[in-house]
Amino acid sequence: MGEFASQRHAAPPSPQPPAPHGAFDRGEPFLAADVGGTHARIGLVLGTPAGRQPVSVLHYQRYCCADWAGLGAVLRDFMAQLPAAGHAALAARVRRCVVACAGVVLDDAIVNENLPWPVAIGALREQLGLSQLEVINDFEAVAWATQFLDVDETLPVIETTQPAPRGPVLVMGPGTGLGSAVLLPRAGHAQVLPTEAGQIALAPGNEREIAILRVLARGRAYVSYEDALSGPGLLKLYHALCELRGSAVALMTPAEVTGAALAGHDATALETLEVFCGLLGSFTGDLAMLYGASGGVFLAGGILPQLHGFLRASRFAERYFNKGVMRAFLQKVPVRLIEHGQLGVIGAASWFLDERQGDPAMPPL
């Protein structure tokens, strides 16, 4: 998943916004996209009658962002495939789109150094002939979607003896960046707070991590948790440990590091993954305390699903609980792992239906 988290900002309308296509109803098809630094996940969706799942994903496809010239090209390809998938009639009715995206909206553009291309919101809306295009944060969308998860769709990392009470739910995880959002449950209407928690300063928890921080901070004024807890961060940890151990750099990608660690082929890779899990446990505990996440923690992102067994056997839990007087609180906060999959698409679409309802009086982004 991708993708460092950021606040969603309202962007001004383009100079000549198209005229609205009338009031929106739940039977109108629309596009929902989840765009990160590595993958773009696109869905054709419909609102459903009242029930646990608010949207139905009629057609879905995942794209590798680096293979495409821009988000407009991705969405146009997706639309072009709909007739062959049996959705020609619905495709002709699509006039609205919601995009969950890593980055910051500034004026009319989505800005994120992890995206392979810039995204101009007004131009994208005009290219696709849309009357409405909304943009929210990618982890905001995933957090929204956790309302509709069943426990059997998750994997346990830290379990509690009693079900989590109704309360704030923390959603976080490493991918191309480090994302985080908090779901605030309310009667009949939840609220999601997107955060920039991944940009908090990295805090080492032992002498080895202090030495790693010295290496990461060389020539830099600031080192964030994202610099360690992300795909690129994992590689930075590996390089730092190669230097500290006096070993040669033999692995070139995050996938190679995790693969070698899990296979037991490389001692430096194994230590890298152990440090990664320890830092993740410490940071997760910090955020659970910060937000009072009595409703539990969901770990997402593109890296963790393949590490479930390793994560449970690592020092993640030890570091998660190592919070002094707050240990008793954290022992009541479960931590579960979720597969990203269509969650961003479902969350973005559900947010759109709940928050905006396609109100034509709302200025389009």
CA distance 14 to 339: 36
d(CA 241, CA 313): 21
Q: Which residues contact 139 (CB under 8 A, 6 or more apart)?
A: 3, 5, 171, 172, 173, 179, 180, 181, 194, 195, 300
| pLDDT score at 101 | 86
Would you identify the CATH topology of the domain 30-144+342-356? Nucleotidyltransferase; domain 5 (3.30.420)
Alpha-carbon distance of 338 to 184, in angstroms, equals: 19
Q: Give the span between the Cα atoms of 93 and 262, in whole angstroms.
A: 48
- pLDDT given for residue 206 in this prediction: 97
User: From CA 233, how far away is CA 224, in angstroms rounded?
Assistant: 10
Q: What is the DSSP pairing of strand 30-35 with strand 96-101?
A: parallel
Residue 321 has pLDDT above 60, yes or no: yes
Whether the pLDDT of residue 18 is over 60: the answer is no
pLDDT at 123: 87
**Mean pLDDT score across all residues of the chain:** 87
Span of 5-9, 188-192, 243-247, 330-334 with lowest mean pLDDT:
5-9
Each residue of 334-351: b (16+ CB within 10 Å) or e? bbbbbebbbbbbbbbbbb
Cα distance from N-terminal residue to C-terminal residue, the chain: 24
CA 219 from centroid of its chain's CA atoms: 29
Report pLDDT for 95. Answer: 92
Handedness of CA 346, 348, 354, 359 (dihedral sign): negative
Q: pLDDT band at 25, cuts 50/70/90?
A: low
> Which of 106-120, 310-324, 343-357 has the lowest average pLDDT?
106-120
- CB-based contacts of 310, cutoff 8 Å, min separation 6: 261, 262, 273, 277
Q: Please report, rounded to a whole number, the percentage of residues in the chain having pLDDT higher than 70.
A: 88
Of 69 and 118, more confident: 69
- Report pLDDT for 31: 96
User: Of residues 149 and 363, which shows the higher confidence score?
Assistant: 149
Sequence spans of domains, the chain: 30-144+342-356, 160-333
CATH number of 160-333: 3.40.367.20
The amino acid occupying position 85 is A
Residues 6+ apart with CB under 8 A from 199: 4, 224, 225, 226
